[in-house]
A and B are shown apart, each in its own frame.
Chain A
Amino acid sequence: MSVSGAASLSETDRALIRILQEDLPLAAEPYAEIAGRLGLTEEEVLERVRRWCDQGVIRRFGASVRHRRVGYKANCMVVWRVDDPLEQRRVGQLFAGFERVTHCYRRPVRKDWPYNLYTMIHGADREDLDRLVAGMSEASGIGDYRLVFSVREWKKTSMKYFSEGTSNDG
């Protein structure tokens, strides 16, 4: 995880990151436009973007699509109780293999909250999600789980790195 910490990023790198996390110019030569804004050459911009993609600093490069508009109207966080530490990785990796599981993490248990595997799943509707979860339970042998449906989205943004200094948190 130490391939490229924040410490090794120059001011120019940070300025480029600020631009890349906004919208790429939808133009024939988008990287040349970005280079112009930063006073860099197009090749200098391309070299950095390629390197960050290779290193995993950029996790994904492309369009973010509103999934509600392309057919997946239901999503749900499902939390699973897997007590045996040896089982946690096996089940986590098993769930990760499900196409419609987009996120899978292990998190700590808390008082009155024994769940430690978290999956985000997507489907057409609630029935579809119920079927998917039943399948995951059967495949993993984990019977203690809970569907935690979202009923309202209060915020959904992309993180703006190196620009949260203006935080209004008084």
Chain B
Amino acid sequence: MSVSDPLDNRILAAVQSDFPVCRRPFRELARKLEVGEDLLLARVRSLREQGVIRRFGAVFDSRRLGYVSTLVALEVPNEEDLPGVAAAVNRYPEATHNYQREDRFNLWFTLIARSRERIGEIISRVASLETVAGVMDLPAEELYKIRASFTPLDDETGEA
């Protein structure tokens, strides 16, 4: 399904970034959108309940909180082994995004952890699975862009 209501679309465009930090943020936003505060709140609650809004809150910069991150690629030669390897990765709360991809390296996941040591530990445990033939640890060395808003679009494709 997709969103087609014009007011909902305007709301979605407005609430994805720079949510007001003040006592009555919805009232302030409602003024900009020229709707009532109660109507805005009701629409936002409804979009949240429908799951169009996945979460409403802050996205933190992991590095500023003292965390480190990386992107890891695994080579799993037999496709039937992928669910098991994916599950082994997913057990770690540090693994935030995990995608099966069409490539020799066919499982790609992001890790955000408190230390480089912890990241190394997780990678070596996953790489030691018999069904995993290869591993690449690909920490970002330079960042040119993390999600500018283009409207409306999800953000959390994986900050690592």
- Chain A residues in contact with chain B, CB under 8 A? 1, 3-7, 9, 17, 20-24, 26-32, 42, 46, 49-50, 52-53, 55-67, 69-72, 75, 77, 88-89, 92-93, 95-96, 99-108, 110, 113, 118, 120, 122, 146, 148-162, 164, 166-169
Chain A residues with CB under 8 A of B58: 17, 20-21, 49, 52, 58, 60-61
A69 touches B56 (CB 8 A): no
Q: How far is the CB of A161 from chain B (nearest CB, A)?
A: 5
Given A24-B56, A49-B21, A64 and B3 contact (CB-CB distance below 8 Å): no
Q: Are A71 and B2 in contact (CB under 8 A)?
A: yes
Residue in B57, B87, B156 whose Cβ sees the most chain A Cβ within 10 Å: B57
Once bound together, how far apart are the Cα atoms of A1 and B86, in whole Å?
Answer: 33
Q: Is the interface of B mostly helix, strand, loop or mixed?
A: mixed
* B binding-site residues for A, Cβ under 8 Å: 1-3, 12, 15-19, 21-27, 37, 41, 44-45, 47-48, 51-67, 71, 86-87, 89-103, 105, 107-109, 112-114, 122, 125, 136, 138-148, 150, 152-159
- Please tell me which one of the listed residues B1, B122, B142 contacts residue A69 in the complex, with CB atoms under 8 A apart: B1
A65-B150 in contact (CB<8A): no
Contact of A107 among B65, B138, B154 (CB under 8 A): B138
CB pair B96 A155 closer than 8 Å = yes
B153 touches A108 (CB 8 A): no
Of the candidates B1, B55, B64, B93, the one whose C-beta lies within 8 Å of that of A57 is B64
State whether B122 touches A169 (Cβ < 8 A): yes
Name the B residues within 8 Å of A151 (CB-CB): 100-102
